[in-house]
Amino acid sequence: MMRNKSLIVCLGLAAIAAGCSSTPAPNPVVDTRAADVQAVKDLEAAWIKTIEAKDADKFASYFAEDGSALYPGAATVTGRAAIKAAMTQYLADPNASWTSQDTQTVASKGGDLVYSQGTYSMTMTNPKTKKPMTDKGKFLTVYGKQADGGWKVVADTFNSDSPM
């Protein structure tokens, strides 16, 4: 009988000790979404200036090394070098211009992705008439946080509001 009481007392003490043990609380996740959105908006403003400067090399530098451009009337272009080559022709057009307006920019809770969407107006030379033509539509760009904490485009696409 004494043996059972000792066992019960030992188990009770073990339960109390386990309940009193302190395990460190997990680190709280810091919400960086507002800062991430602002960083991407700042990046986009600088990126648009590379179009105004007609700098295809700098334009492509905003993409992740394996980023993709999914532009209308063309196959998907992946990688900075291929994106630079694709943009060189567009930016060589004397009428080339691009303006855009974000309508929504959203950062992930995990802090690794941001997307922006909005509207654009693009002007270029019509290959048939050789006159400037303007297209309006919408865009979607996805940014990924890089190892250095900066942001790069992982996917960029746009499409026209004009009927096909």
Confirm if 122 and 101 have CB atoms less than 8 A apart.
Answer: no
CB–CB of 127/108 below 8 Å? no
| The predicted structure's pLDDT at residue 28 | 73
Position 10 scores a pLDDT of 45
List pLDDT tens digits, range 84-98.
999 999 999 999 999
User: pTM of the full predicted structure?
Assistant: 0.81
CATH-assigned architecture of domain 32-160: Roll (3.10)
Q: Are 112 and 144 in contact (CB under 8 A)?
A: yes
Q: Averaged over 13-37, what is the pLDDT?
A: 70
- Euclidean distance between CA atoms 147 and 151, whole angstroms: 9
Which alpha helices (DSSP H) does 53-142 contain, by range? 56-61, 80-92
Strand partners, 103: none
Query: Left (φ > 0), alpha (ψ -120 to 50) or beta: where does 4 sit?
Result: alpha
Mean local confidence (pLDDT), 127-136: 96
Higher pLDDT, 99 or 28: 99
Domains in the chain: boundaries: 32-160
* 72 Cβ contact partners less than 8 Å away, ≥ 6 residues apart: 158, 159, 160
Strands 113-125, 151-160: pairing is: unpaired
Q: What percent of the chain has pLDDT over 70?
A: 83
Query: Model confidence at 163, in pLDDT bands (50, 70, 90)?
Result: confident
